């Protein structure tokens, strides 16, 4: 229950931040849809992993695998290779943003994969190391596409 409250609070902050975008309404709508999908699947993953009634410390032990689960369910992880790839990110984010912002999306979101070495993530790692940073960078970059500062 405690972690669910924290997660819902973070979700509200993210959506509130996206509501204050100063770009075209179409861009704001697309960014909100992408972010909402990621947050929705993360909440579902939290339930699937039964993290909703864990303490903060227990929750944090599983946050990397929670991030991996969210990336998988949101379509950021390739079905065959089980890796976050440029192709999957293009389909999940870049192809869905407002056409005017596709170049910026391409630069910022793909840069996340490079900066966080997404190609080196080991899908077989039981600790799911690195997935949280990749997911967070993608969220921040998506929020920034229309001119929203990264929220967290």
Note whether residue 150 is domain-resident. no
Q: What b/e sequence results for 76-93 when a residue is b if at least 16 CB atoms lie within 10 Å of its CB, and e otherwise?
A: bbbeeeebbbbebbbebb
pLDDT of 3 strictly over 90: no
Cα–Cα distance, 132 to 60 (Å, whole number)? 11
Note whether residue 152 is domain-resident. no
The structure's pTM equals 0.77
Model confidence pLDDT, tens digit, residues 17-33: 444 445 667 777 777 88
Note whether residue 118 is domain-resident. yes
Note whether residue 22 is domain-resident. yes
Note whether residue 120 is domain-resident. yes
44 phi and psi angles, rounded to 5 deg: -65, -45
Note whether residue 42 is domain-resident. yes
Note whether residue 151 is domain-resident. no
**What pLDDT is stored for residue 30 in this prediction?**
77
- Copy the structure tokens of residue 23: 């770009």
Tell me the residue range of the domain where 87 lies: 2-144
Note whether residue 149 is domain-resident. no
pLDDT of 123 strictly over 90: yes
Cβ–Cβ < 8 Å for 47, 79? no
Q: In total, how many domains does the chain have?
A: 1
- Indicate which CATH number applies to the domain containing 118: 1.10.238
Q: How confident is the model at residue 142 (pLDDT cuts 50, 70, 90)?
A: confident
């Amino acid at each position: 229950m405690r972690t669910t409250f924290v997660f819902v609070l973070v979700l509200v902050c993210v959506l509130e931040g996206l509501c204050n975008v100063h770009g075209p309404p179409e861009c704001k709508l697309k960014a909100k849809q992408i972010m909402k999908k990621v947050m929705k699947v993360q909440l579902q993953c939290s339930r699937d992993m039964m993290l909703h009634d864990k303490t903060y410390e227990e929750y944090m032990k599983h946050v990397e695998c929670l991030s991996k689960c969210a990336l998988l369910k949101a379509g950021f992880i390739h079905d065959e290779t089980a890796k976050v790839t440029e192709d999957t990110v293009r389909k999940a984010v870049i192809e869905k943003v407002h056409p005017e912002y596709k170049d910026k999306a391409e630069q910022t979101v793909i840069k996340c994969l490079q900066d966080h070495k997404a190609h080196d993530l080991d899908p077989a790692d039981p600790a799911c190391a690195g997935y949280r940073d990749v997911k967070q960078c993608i969220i921040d970059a998506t929020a920034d596409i229309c001119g929203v500062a990264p929220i967290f």
